Structure formats: C-alpha cells, structure tokens
Amino acid sequence: MRAKVRELELKDRKMRWKICTKLIFAMAMLSGCASIGPGTVARDRFDYIAAISDSWKSQMLLNLVKLRYGDAPVFLDVASVINQYGIEGSIGLSGSWTQNAQVPWPYGALYNILGAGRYAERPTITYSPLSGEKFARSLMTPIPPAAILNFLQGGYPVDLVLRLGVHSVNGIRTRYGGGARMRNADPEFYTVVERLRAIQLSGDLGLRVRKIGEQTSTLVVFSKKPNAEIDAARAQVRELLGLDPTTEEFSVVYGSVAANNREIALLTRSRLEILIDLASYIEVPAASAAEQRTFPTPAPEQINGAPVAPLIRILSSPQPPSDAFAAVPYRNEWYWIDDKDLASKRLLSFIMFLFTLTETDGKQNTPLITVPVG
C-alpha cells in the first residue's frame, strides 16, 4: 500500500512540474523575449493603406455632395501614422503546507500559481486640416498649363483632361456646371478634343520644353509623319483654334486669348472649380430640387443628336447601396458611385492624382509628434 501511494505521489509531482514549466515558458515569451515588430509591418501597412484610401474616397465624394448643396468643403489629410506595441507578462508561485502525519506529502500542501499577461496597441494618427493660406493656395489657384500637358504626356485622354481641367482653349469654351456660371460647351470644343484624341492615339502629339535664359516654355509639337487621316485632323485643329497652318510647334500659355497664331492659350481651372463642375453631375432627388435645396440636375449636352456622356455619375437613394465603390450619407440620403461604373471610378481616382501632382509650391510646417518611450 505504501508503494502504491509513493508511486502516485511521484506521478503527481511530475505533472505539477510540467505545468509549472509550461507556464514559466509562456510567461517568458510574453515578457518580451521574442520580437513582435517585424511581424506587424505587413499587416499594418496594408490595413492602414486600405483605411486611408477608403477614407479619401469617402471624403472626396462627401465634399462633392456638399458643394452641390452649397455647403463648404472640408479636407482633412492624414499627416502621419505611428503605432506602438507592447507585450508584458509576469508569473509567480506561492505555497503553504501543514504537518500531518496521516496525510502524506504533497496532499497536505497548498500551491498557488499566479500568471498575468497584457498586450497593448497604441496607434497615434495625426490629422492636418486644409485651411487658411494653404486652402487658398491649394484649392483656388489655377492649375498650371504645364501640369495639364504633363497629364497628356503621361497618356491620359486629352478629351478627359481638357473637359475636366480647362475653361477654354484659344477662346473655345468647355461645359461648366457651377451655379451662376453654368453653361454648355461651344459646339467647336467637342470637335477639337475629338481630333486631338485621334492625334494623341496615333502618337503624333508630343511635348517639348524650351528654356531661354531664366524662362521655361512648354511647346505642343505635331509630328511630321505622313498620314492622310491624321493630317486632316491636324488641319482641322489648326483651323478651329486659329493656328498657323505651316507651324509644327506651338507655345502653351495661360490665358483666354492667344497673342498670335503660334500660341495655344489654356484658361485652366482651379481644383475648387473642378470639384464644383463635377458636383453638377450628381443626380439629386427631385424633392431636393423642388424645395430649392439645390439646383436640378442639368440635362446632358447633345452633339449631333447624341447625348454627351457625363464625366462622372453619382447616384442617390434613400437606402445604402449594396454594391458601391464609394458611398456617403448626407441629409437623409445616400450618394454613391456604382462599383460597376468603371469610368466614374477612374475619374475619382484621377482627381487624387490631379490634386497630388499639381500641388503648388510652399513649405508647410510638419506636425510635431511626441512618442512616449517604453
């Protein structure tokens, strides 16, 4: 009988030591013996990119809707994202026993194994509101003509860039949907952009930068490759814009009127004017227009009896959409871009590039961030 009891005591002791060993090992891991930093990079990077991207789309769409209703746009940039992680752990062992001859050890003993662990994640996100001088410079300054040409050189369609970014080309005006200045495009405009698009697709539309002293000028260059169809398109563009039919290079300047027949004058828009124009395409509820909360959605333009496709389609509905690329609530309605509308999705993404690549000069004070140590 004593041998049997002794065997049970030994088994029980081994089991207790195994449990203690495992707990000590687990607490050691929690106390920082293993690095957790590298493993968080891939997860955090993609999670924050997705969150910032979705928030940017929602912010831009909401500001378009607010402008449609005469509300002021508000932009809030994410200036920085800092994340801190911490893992802490502790373990303790306490015990007591009583002397009792009739109760063999360890059954007369009491043991307490104490353990604690904590995981902490402390993200610090800094926001920078667009206001004051930065707001005026960023949103109300006209886009430089050179930036418009850079988009053309980068392969963006000339008809999209000119419809979006300019008021007129050598006096030929584009459509604009901004309140009291609302107007349809001149009939010649769509002919010009259609011919320029054909020239661009042929590869015969190029740019050249010329520097004379301290002045830099950008030139639009028509190729001299023989091509009957493209030659006819170039001739019609020259005629409509009043350009010299014998010149292959034309200086691009800012303004509404060219100084001579060797210039192309672009009256460019500011980014705020671009947003106001895009907001006019929003299909608002009929009740909002009837109550004069906003103006009715303008009818599409007609060219040769066919409607001109809008630059962007933003829909509205009382309920949240089920399949949206971006959606925001505003005044008891939902405004959204259909995820199947590729043209509108591309345009919303293009605005991001437009706002980023045409940022005007000016140094901004970076936010001061204090990160606690430990």
Q: What is the pLDDT of residues 299-314, one digit of tens each?
A: 888 888 888 899 999 9
Question: Does residue 146 belong to any structural domain of this protein?
Answer: no
At 18, the amino acid letter reads K
232 inside domain: yes
**Structural domain count of the chain:** 1
- Which band of pLDDT confidence, cut at 50, 70 and 90, is reported for residue 82? confident
Average pLDDT, the chain: 79
DSSP three-state, residue 109: strand
Q: Residue 158 pLDDT more than 80?
A: yes
Instruction: Give the residue numbers spanning the domain of 178.
Output: 169-268
d(CA 119, CA 80): 23
Q: Is the peptide bond before 187 cis (omega within 30 degrees of 0)?
A: no
Residue 205 maps to a domain? yes
pLDDT digits (tens, 9 = 90+) for 178-196: 777 788 999 899 999 999 9
- Band (362; pLDDT cuts 50, 70, 90): very low
Does some domain include residue 210?
yes
Q: Is residue 228 part of a domain?
A: yes
Q: Is the pLDDT of residue 60 over 70?
A: yes
Q: 309 in a domain, yes or no?
A: no
What is the spatial distance between Cα 160 and Cα 312, in angstroms, rounded to a whole number? 11
Please tell me the distance from the alpha carbon of residue 164 to that of residue 73, in angstroms, as a whole number: 19
The verdict on residue 206 lying in a domain is: yes
For the segment 165-186, the average pLDDT, to the nearest whole number, is: 89
Residue 197 placed within a domain: yes
